[in-house]
Amino acid sequence: MAFPRREKEVSDFVAARKIDEEISFVRNDHEVNGTIFKILENSVIVEISSKDAELIGAASNLTVVSHKNYSIV
């Protein structure tokens, strides 16, 4: 038996986000700029440079950032 999925209301900030939009966030005391690769319900997947990935200790040049933790460049 499956329960129907409830639609959650999306904030205006999240609804305004677009793929390839540039954002800025802070991770491990470093400010990082990147572009939105995919928009999720509570976060975005961001493509960053290989140099920034190494600087913040990310495993690849894609990282997840909560909607609460970034700003638009």
Q: In 3-state terms, what secondary structure has residue 26? A: strand
Q: Which CATH number fits domain 16-72: 3.30.2310, 2.30.30, 2.20.25, 2.40.128?
A: 2.30.30
Q: Is the pLDDT of residue 10 over 90?
A: no
Q: Does the structure show a pLDDT above 90 at 2?
A: no
pTM of the predicted structure, to 2 decimals: 0.86
pLDDT in tens, 32-60: 999 999 999 899 999 999 999 999 999 99
User: Could you tell me the pLDDT band of residue 28, with boundaries at 50, 70 and 90?
Assistant: very high
* Full 3-state SS string of 62-73: EEEEEHHHEEEC
Q: What percent of the chain has pLDDT over 70?
A: 99
All structural domains of the chain with their residue ranges: 16-72
